[in-house]
Amino acid sequence: MTVKPLPPAPVGRPPRMIGALLRIPFQETVRRIHEDLVRAGFGDLRPAHFVVFQLIDPGGARQTELAERAQITKQSMGYLVDYLAGAGYVERVPDPRDGRASLVRLTARGDAVERAARASLERLEGEWAALLGPARYAALKRALTELSDTIGQV
Amino acid sequence: MTVKPLPPAPVGRPPRMIGALLRIPFQETVRRIHEDLVRAGFGDLRPAHFVVFQLIDPGGARQTELAERAQITKQSMGYLVDYLAGAGYVERVPDPRDGRASLVRLTARGDAVERAARASLERLEGEWAALLGPARYAALKRALTELSDTIGQV
DNA sequence: CTTTATTAGTCAGGCAATCTGACTATATCT
DNA sequence: AGATATAGTCAGATTGCCTGACTAATAAAG
Cα separation of B22 and B122, whole Å?
A: 19
pTM summary value:
0.89
Helix and strand numbers, DSSP H then E, in chain A:
6, 3
Give the Å distances, CA to CA, from B47 to A126, B12, B34, B74: 32, 33, 7, 18
pLDDT tens string B71-122 = 999 999 999 999 999 999 999 999 999 999 999 999 999 999 999 999 999 9
pLDDT of the residue at A11 = 54
pLDDT for the residue A153: 73
Helix (H) and strand (E) counts in chain B: 6, 3
Distance A40 CA to D1 C1' (A): 53
What's the CATH number where B79 sits? Answer: 1.10.10.10
Residue B23 predicted with pLDDT over 60: yes
What is the domain count for chain A?
A: 1
Question: Domain for residue B70, yes or no?
Answer: yes
A16 falls within a domain: no
Which whole number is the average pLDDT over A24-35? 96
Q: What is the largest distance, in Å, between two alpha-carbon atoms of chain B?
A: 80
B139 occurs within a structural domain: no
Q: Does A38 touch chain B (CB under 8 A)?
A: no
pLDDT in tens, B30-82: 999 999 999 999 999 999 999 999 999 999 999 999 999 999 999 999 999 99
Distance in Å from C9's C1' to A151's CA comes to: 30
β strands within chain A, DSSP E: 61-62, 90-94, 102-106
In a domain, A127, yes or no: yes
Dihedral sign of CA atoms A126, A145, A49, B27 in order: negative
Within-domain flag for A7 = no
The single-letter code of the amino acid at A23 is R
Q: Which residue of B15, B54, B146 is in closest CB contact with A132?
A: B146
B27 at the A interface (CB within 8 A)? yes
Domain that holds residue B89: 43-120
Instruction: Please state, in angstroms and rounded to a whole number, the distance separating the CA atoms of residues B60 and B51.
Output: 14
- The secondary structure of A26-70 as a DSSP string is HHHHHHHHHHHHHHTT-TT--HHHHHHHHH--TT-EEHHHHHHHH
Which H or E run contains B135?
Answer: helix B134-151
User: B9 in a domain, yes or no?
Assistant: no
Task: Please report whether residue B98 resides in a domain.
Answer: yes
Quick one: pLDDT at residue A13?
64
Report whether A121 contacts A29 (CB < 8 A).
yes
pLDDT > 70? residue B1: no
Say if A22 falls within a structural domain.
Answer: no
Distance CA A11, CA A134 (A): 33
Nucleotide nearest to A71 (CA to C1'): D17
Q: CA of B61: how far to CAs of A63, B93, B103, B112, in Å? A: 45, 10, 5, 18
Whether residue A47 contacts residue A34, with contact meaning beta carbons closer than 8 Å, is answered with yes
